[in-house]
Every structure is written in C-alpha cells, then in structure tokens.
Structure 1
Amino acid sequence: METYDYIIVGAGSAGCPVAAALSADPDIKVLLLEAGPHADRFWVNTPAGMGKLYFNKLLNWNYHTEPMTMLKDRRMYWPRGKTLGGSSSINGMVFIRGHRGDFDSWRDLGNPGWGYDDVLPYFRSMEHFERREDRFRGQGGPLWISDPVRKEPASGDFIEAAKQLGHRELEDMNGEEHDGVGFMQHTIRKGRRHSAFVAFVKPILHRSNLTVRTDCRVERLLFEGRTVIGVEVFHKGRRLKIAASREVILSGGAINSPQLLMLSGVGPAEELQKHGIPVVLDAPGVGRNLQDHFYVHTGWRARADSSYNANLAGLRKYWEGFKYLMSHRGYLALGSSQVAAFVKSQPEEERADLQISFRPMTFQYNADGTVDVENQPGMGVSVYQLRPNTTGAVTLRSPNAADKAVCTPHFLTDPDDISAVISGIRQIRDIMTSKPIAARVVSEEIPGPQVCTDDEIFRFMQDTGNSAHHQGGTCRMGGDGMAVVDERLRVHGLARLRVVDASIMPHLTSGNTNAPTIMIGVKGGDMIRQDMAPRRSIAMEQGAT
C-alpha cells in the first residue's frame, strides 16, 4: 500500500502552491494527483493559444450547465482546466487580486485571518511583479506578473475615454487602489504563459519527496470513522487505494471538490440518499452557494488601425507565428484582454460592482467548436457584475465518478443583478461613444443600436449572456451550519481533510479569480505546515470504507 504524508487532489491553481509548500520539508512525503495529462505543449505555453484550448477535449473538463429557464433553456459552456496547472494553464492569464473589501468581508463573515491585511503578505510573497516592489507588490516570488508586451493605441484611447467620463486612471490595479481604469497585468513571463504548475511545481520536480501523478482520477475518499485515511483512484485502467498518514487536501476546484465530497458520502443527506451513497456526514452546504460572474459581450466594428485581428488571421498569422518563435514577442505573447475598468452600476454603490474589459480584437466561435480571430477589424468590450446575489448549486448526476456533476447557476433570477449588468452595457456604450475611442469605431455590431430599452437589453442578455468562468463558493468557509470548512480550511465534522481552492470563497472577489485562488493555495499550504498533523499508522484493508 502506497503511503504519503499528504495527498493533494488536483494540480491546479491552488494545488500546485500547496504541493510546493508542503514538499519544502524533505521529511514530508507529498503526492500531487491530477486527473488530466501534462501541460508542456506549444499552445499552452503560448499566451494567444488560449483560443485553441477553449474547447480542447484533452486538457479541458468541458462542463456544461443544466438548461436555465431565464436563459431560454440554454445550457452554458464552462471550460475548466484538466491538466497540470489546472485552469491557469488554459485561461486568459489575467491577474487581478480583487478589492480590499472582498477579503475584509470574508473576515467579517466569521473567518479570522482572511482580511486584506492578512492575505496581502501572501499575495506579495507569491509574485514577482516585473515592474517593481513596494508595500503592496512583491518581487522574488515564484509567479511572474507582467504588463502587456504591446500596449495598443486603441487600448490607450479606451482608458482616455473612460477618464473623460470621470473614471480614475490606475497605474497599478493590484496596488493600493482597485476602482478605476487601466492596463491589466498577466501571468506571462518573457512571452510565455506562467501557470501555477510552471511557477510552483516545475522548478521543484527534483525533490525526491514530491510525487506528481497525471491521468489519475480520484473517485472517492477513504474513511476510518470520520477520519480521512486516503483516496481511491482510477489510473491506467486500475483502481488503487493510496494512504495519507497526515491529511488529504482537496484542490479540485469549485465543481470537482464538492462532487468528490458527495461521492464519498459527505454532503446533503437527501442528495446522497437519492443516489444510494451511504452518508458519512450530513453536510448541507456541500455544493451549495455556487457563484459565478455572469458575462455579457459587446462587439464593435473598428478602423483597421484600431484592431489586431488582421495580424492573427490569414497569411499574417504565419508571420506573427514566426516572430513569436524567434523572440516570444508580438501579438501571440498577449493575454486575453488589455484594459479593465472597475465602475459602479449606481452612484450609491460603496465601491465598484462591475468590471468592464476591453480588447482591440474579436473572436468568432465556429460550429465545430473551434475559436478563430475574426477577419474584419473589431474591438471587444465585455462586462460582468462583481458581487452577484444569485447562487446556484453543484449536485451529483450519478454515484459514478466518471459522470460529470450537475451545475445549476440560476443566472438572471435576481432583479438587482439584472439591473447592474444593464447599467454595465449602457456604460460600455458611453465609453465607446466618447472621445478619443469613438473615432476608432465604425459601428456597434453587438448588440447593435436597435437594442435600446431595458427590456431589449435584458432579452439580449438572455440570448447571449455567458460565464466569465469564475466559479467558486461551493465549499464555503465559515462557522455557520451551511459552511463546509473553517478558517483553517478544515472540513467541519471530519478529521484530516481540508479543501484548498476557489470553492472555499464565501463570495467571489472583485475581478478575475485566478490570482486569489493561487493566494488561497499559498496561504493554505502555509497553514497546513503550521498545523502539521502527527503521522498516524494506517493498516488499510482492501475493504476500507
């Protein structure tokens, strides 16, 4: 029977920093398990390759929601990374920590140690911000944070137009101030994607006490009473049991972590009994509190000099490819968006509750599932609400671990959420029709000038609204009856089990969620080391439960 001190389930944005922290002690044996394959591939390493990964069947879980009544029974596509690095290996590489108030709210909801001043040292320690180090930003950490290698003139004009409307320009949106408009930062190092795996685990693969295993699906947790003693995995056609003498850490993300808990008998008793799963612990909060950022995209036909679509389409894309291979620069070295504006949907909001993102290029989604850059010059502008009231659930489709979980986000069911996004679309139009960006616009293509009233905008949201792919909250941190983990990320009611990923967020952060998810992994790894559980002797029988 294989035995490790710690077993980490999921080598993604949080699991990789946990593995790095725990394996720093040479006397601690760590096993990092990943359901997907390795990630060292050209289109993973190339920032502009994210479009090639959006529907990738090998490196992506390719989730879909259930049909949603308020979205005319549409099923929404939810890509999630299924490879070393998890979603940090397939995402748009945007690095946004969130607002100070996000973390202070986590603390005030009964989670001491999670306020902004508590988490700031972890953000600083984990990053190498290429521009500088100060009391808000770090250098020397494993994760490289960079500015866009090219700052397009159209992006500068978008910032200037937003300023004309009263929005403050931010020199660093991950510094002291969060609300305003400015260039985004990305997890890109010298023109290559810098995923959580590349940053935290690849440099330490030589550690003899760290084992990384790919293509290994964890199907259930193993218990002795209410103490977790290991995992059962499916690997290369075989089911194996692996023991953990200290702890098991779930870092599978907001969909996989609650699913694994429920498959193992930890979750709402009624849900488990429906699928014939013996109840180890009735934990009603597992899978509940599902949150995501509802995303609406607008498209603008642009002057040729205002978009780099032409550089990534036709014959020019081969020239860009050659330049990238020679220098790791150019358009293939850019992240998904250039500019973000954090704005209020209503003046009475305490802080920004909308994120508007601008990119001087546009995609088209093909019927065969591929994504291509549009041939005609275009600019894309999107908006999502940062702090939605709407929550949904992750539940089981069956007791079979190979079956995908049921994801029900309940988008467009809260009137305040709807009003906020409608305001966001109107504010996009205000910016795009203001100088100097207005001079670059040929026409509004999506939704188009014929969509004017609130009812028309709402119908447009129903028809086209999507997800920003920022799922979280399904193993919520807190001390009440619906919380799944405590402030040390230990699962309530069970011993030697933690959840360390975006599922522990009491509510989403203000912005793209990859940066705070990595921080959760860094802080979680530190807490596990501080709390170092004593080894226990495990004589695991073949029939262990």
Structure 2
Amino acid sequence: METYDYIIVGAGSAGCVLARRLSDDQGVKVLLLEAGPTADKFWVRTPAGMAKLFFHEQLNWNYFTEPMPLLHDRRMYWPRGKGLGGSSAINGMVYIRGHRQDFDTWRDLGNPGWGYEDVLPCFKRMEHNERGGDAYRGVDGPLWISDPVVRHPASADFIDAAVRLGIPRSEDLNGELHDGVGFIQHNIRKGKRQSAYTAYVAPVRGRPNLTVRTGAFVQRIVFDGLTATGIEVEENGQRRIIHAAREVVVSAGALNSPQILMLSGIGPGEELQRHGIRQIVQSPGVGQNLQDHFYVHTSYRATRASSYNHEISGLRKYWQGLRYLLTGTGYLALGSSQVAAFVKSRPEEVYADLQISFRPMSFTYYGNGVVEVDPIPSVAASVYRLRPAGSGTVTLRSADPRQAPAFQPNFLAHPDDVRAVISGIRHIRRILASEPVASRVLGEHMPGPQVASDDEILQYLRAHGNSAHHPAGTCKMGQDAMAVVDERLRVRGIDRLRVVDASIMPHVTSGNTNAPTMMIAEKGADMIRKDAVAARVPAAQGAR
C-alpha cells in the first residue's frame, strides 16, 4: 500500500505552504497532490501575464456561477487557479493581510488563538519584505514582498487627492494603519511572480520526504468508521487509494474543498441524499456561508501622461517586453493595482468596509476570453465590498467529481451591500474630481456621468458588477451548529481530517485574500505539528 504520513489535497496558496512546513520535519513523509499541471511558464512568471491566464485552458478551472436573478440572470465568470501554486499562480499578486479587527472577530466568534496578535507572527514568518523588518513586517521568510518598480505619477496624485479629502495616508497598508490610502505591495521578486509554489515548494522540491504529484484528481476521502485514512485519486485514467498514516488535509480552496467533503459523505444530509452519497457525518455548514467581495469597475479618459495604456499596446509593447527581458523592470513587472484606499461607506462603520483600487491603465475583458488594453489613455478605479452582509452557497451538481459544483454567491441580495457599493462609486468620483488627480482626468467613461441617481447606479451594478475572485467561508471555523471545523481546523465529527484554506474563514478578510490564506496554512501547519497524532497502520483494503 502506498502510504504517507500527511496527504495534502491541493497545491494552491495553502497547500504549498503546508507541504513546505510539514516536510521541514525529516521524520515524516508528505504527499502534495494537484489536479492541474506544472505552472512553470513565461506568462506565469511575468506579472503582466495575469491577463493571459484569466481564461487559460490548462491553468484555470474556468468556473461560472449559477444565473443570478438580481444581476439580470448573468452567469458570472469565476477564475480559479489549476496547477502548482493554485490561484497564486494566476492572480494579481496583491499582498494585503486585512484589518486587525477581522482576526479579532474570528477569535471572538469562539476561535481562540486566531486574534490579530496571534496571527501576526505567522504573517511575519512567511514573508521577506524588501523594506526590511519592523513590528509588523517580516524578513527571511520564503515569500518575497516588494514595492511597485514603477510608481506612476497618476497613482501618487490619486493618493494626494484622497488625502485632501480626509483619507489618512498609509505608508504600509499591512502595518499600523490599514484604514487609509497608499501604494500596494505585491508578491513579486526581481520582476517575477512569487506564487506559493515558487516561494515555498520549488526551493525544497528535492527533499526525499516530500512528493509532489500533478494531474492527480482526488475523488473522495477514504474512511475507516469516523477516521480519515486516505484518499481515492484518479491519475492517468486509473483510480487507486493512497493511505495517510497521520492525517488528510484538504486545501482545495473555498470552491472545491466543500465539494470534496460532500463527495466524501460530509455535508448537509439532504444535499448528500439528493445525489445518492452515503452520509458519514451530518455537517450542515459545508458549502454554506460562501462570501466574496462584490466588485465594480469604473474607468476614466485621461491625459496621455496619466496612463500607460500606450506603453503596453501597439508597437511600444514590444519595447516594454524587451525592457522586461533585459532588466526585469518596467510595466510588465507590475501587479494588478498600484494603490488601495480603505474607506467607510458611512461614518457609523467601525472600520473600513470598502476597498478602492486604482491603476493608471485600463483594459477590457471580452466574452471570448481575450483581454485587451483599452486603445485610448485611461485610468481605472474599482470598489470592493469588504464585509458582505449577504452570503451564498456551494452545492453539488452530481456525485461525479468531474462535474463542477454549483455556485450561487447571492450578490446584492442584502440592502446593506447595495448601499455600501453605491457609496463606493461616489467615493471614487469624489477622489477623481479632486486635485491633483482631477487635472489628469478628461471625463468619466464607465459608468458615465449620465448614471447619477442611486437607482441608476444600482442598475449599473447589476449589469456590470463582478466577483473580485476572493471566495471564502464555505467550511467555516467556529463553535456554532454551522461550523465545519474547530479552531484547530479539524473537521468536526471526524478524526485525522482537517481543512486548511480560505474556506475556514468565518468572515472574509478586508482585502485581497491570498496573504491571509497563506497565513492560515502557516498557522495550520503549526497546529498539525503540535497535535502530532501517532502514525496509524493502514488497515486492509476495503475501507469506505
């Protein structure tokens, strides 16, 4: 029988961190399984290549939501990474931890050990910040964190305009002042993307106690009674069982982890029965509490000097390509956004519930998968609803693991979310109408000045709003009846099984979710090592 101490399902942002940290112990054997392929490609390594990965056939699950009645029955596109590094290999590389209150709220919901002061050491341990270390930043960690190699003047003017409107200037959005405006840092090292795989696994791939396998499609978790003993996997068209002597860890992400649990018999009883799946444990919260940041995009015509659209289109894009190949700098070495402003939608909010992102360029996604830089000088700003009042679901389409789950995010179903995002549009307009950035703006393109009233803005949100691609919460951590895992990320009702990824978040964090997902895995690895269950001798074949 093929046996490892720990089997990690999913080589994404969390799984790669776990594989590195668990295999630090030379006395254990670790297996990291990934359904997708390797991701060592030029456009993965190149930060600007994210546009080419948005609809990639091999490196992206290319999911769609169910039709959304409140958004004109649109089926929203949800890209998710499929390959070594997961979504960290295709995302915008934005490094935002979240607000300290996010984590204190997790703790106060009955999850001791998850307050801000508890998780800060994990954040610091994972990163090497090029600014150097301080009370908030870490150095000598695997993940390189850097400032933009080009700080565009339009971005600096956007910050100055926001400050004039009373938004505090933050020199470090991951430091003491999160609610403010400032330049974003990214997980980019010397002009190249730092995916979780690149940072954590690639440097130790040769360890004799670490096995990494791609093209491994996990079908279900295998049990002996109420103990997880391994997984059933399909590789090269063949199915077989691989045994876990200590634990199985599911790190397939907020969209796929609940699917794997339900396919294995852990989930809402009615959902399992509907698909003829034998119930192992009744866990009504599996696939519930789906949270994401609803996002809406705006763009503005700008002076030529205020936008770098012309630098990355036409013949000049070839010059930028050569510059990047020779120096690792220039516009191809930038992450998705330059600036973030964390603001309140209304004064009575305890802390910022909106994130406004600014970039001195603009682009358009087309339905056929093509992403093109806009042909005229433009700048863009987006608003994210950070603490959604509404939530959605992940359910099964069938008992066939190859069938994508059904996703219903329920965006704009709660009036507080509608009110907040409308407020965010008005925040963007106020900032871009203020000097010094106002002199760079020639006119509003999207949604356009004709979209003025709350009802007109709402119609724009329904027609053009999107997901920020930050799903979380579908196997939430907690003490209540809907909690799927406990504060040590152990699946309730099952021995030797954990979920470690963004799905365990009780509430999605205030900002991009890649950094907190990696932190969860750092802390999860600590817990697994500390809890260190004794190795179990695999039973004979035939366990469920």
Deviations 1:330-349 (A, max 9, x none): 00000000000000100111
Q: Where does residue 61 of structure 1 map in the other structure?
A: 61
Give the secondary structure class of the aligned counterpart of 1:375.
Answer: coil
The aligned residue for residue 282 of structure 1 is 282
Q: Which ranges of structure 1 fall in alignment gaps of 5 or more residues?
A: none
Shift of 1:504: 0.1
Q: 1:268 is matched with which residue? A: 268
Determine the structure 2 residue equivalent to 1:358. Answer: 358
Query: Any residues of structure 2 matched to 1:93-492 within 5 Å, and which?
Result: 93-492=93-492
Write out aligned runs for 1:66-81 (5 A).
66-81=66-81
Q: Which amino acid aligns with 2:138?
A: G
- Number of aligned residue pairs: give it: 544
State how far apart, in whole Å, the 1-side matches of 2:206 and 2:263 are. Answer: 34
**For residues 104-131 of structure 1, what are the alpha-carbon distances to aligned partners after superposition, in whole Å with 9 as ceiling and x for unaligned?**
0000000000000000000001000101
Q: CA deviation at 1:544?
A: 2.6
TM-score, normalised on structure 1? 0.99
Q: What is the letter of the counterpart of residue 269 of structure 1? A: G
Alpha-carbon distance between aligned partners in 1 of 2:375 and 2:328, rounded to the nearest angstrom: 24
Residue 515, structure 1, aligned to residue 509, structure 2: no
Task: Read off the aligned partner of 1:235 and give its amino acid letter.
Answer: E
Partner of 1:502 in structure 2?
502
Shift of 1:539: 2.5
Which runs of structure 2 are paired with 1:76-91 in the superposition (5 Å)? 76-91=76-91
User: Contact 1:243–1:540 at 8 Å: present in 2 too?
Assistant: no
Using structure 2 for the length normalisation, give the TM-score: 0.99
1:63-116 deviation per Cα after TM superposition (whole angstroms, max 9, x unaligned): 100001100100100000001011000000000000000000000000000000
The alignment-based identity, stated in percent, is: 65
Aligned equivalents of 2:75 and 2:101: distance in 1?
33
Matches within 5 A, 1:12-51: 12-51=12-51
Alpha-carbon offset, residue 479 of structure 1: 1.0
Give secondary structure in 1 for the equivalent of 2:256.
Answer: helix
How far residue 181 of structure 1 moved from its aligned partner, in angstroms, is 0.2
Aligned to 2:543: 544
Q: Are residues 1:526 and 2:540 paired?
A: no
- Deviation track 1:403-423 (CA, whole Å, cap 9, x = no partner) reads 000001111110011000000
Superposition RMSD in Å: 0.6
Contact preservation (8 Å) 1:229, 1:538:
yes
Q: Secondary structure at the match of 1:101?
A: helix
After superposing on structure 2, the runs of 4+ consecutive aligned residues of structure 1 that deviate more than 2 Å are none
User: Deviations for 1:8-49, whole angstroms, at most 9, x for unmatched residues?
Assistant: 000010111111111011110000000100011000000000
AA paired with 2:159? I
Which consecutive residues of structure 2, in runs of 5 or more, have no partner in the other structure? none
Q: Distance in 2 between matches of 1:280 and 1:106?
A: 28
What is the alpha-carbon distance in structure 2 between the residues aligned to residue 79 and residue 169 of structure 1?
33
TM-superposition CA deviations, 1:287-333 (whole Å, max 9, x none): 00000000010010111110011111011111111111111100000
SS of 1:259's equivalent in the other structure is helix
> 2: CA distance between counterparts of 1:224 and 1:240?
16
| Contact map agreement 1:354 1:384 (CA 8 A) in 2 | yes
SS of residue paired to 1:185: coil
Q: Structure 1 residues 419, 135: CA separation in 2 closer, same or farther (over 3 Å shift)?
A: same
What SS does the aligned partner of 1:246 have?
strand
Shift of 1:373: 1.1
Letter in 2 for 1:128: H
Q: Following TM superposition, by how much is the alpha carbon of 1:368 offset from its aligned partner in structure 2, in angstroms? A: 2.1
For residues 322 and 487 of structure 1, the distance between their equivalents in structure 2, rounded to whole angstroms, comes to 50
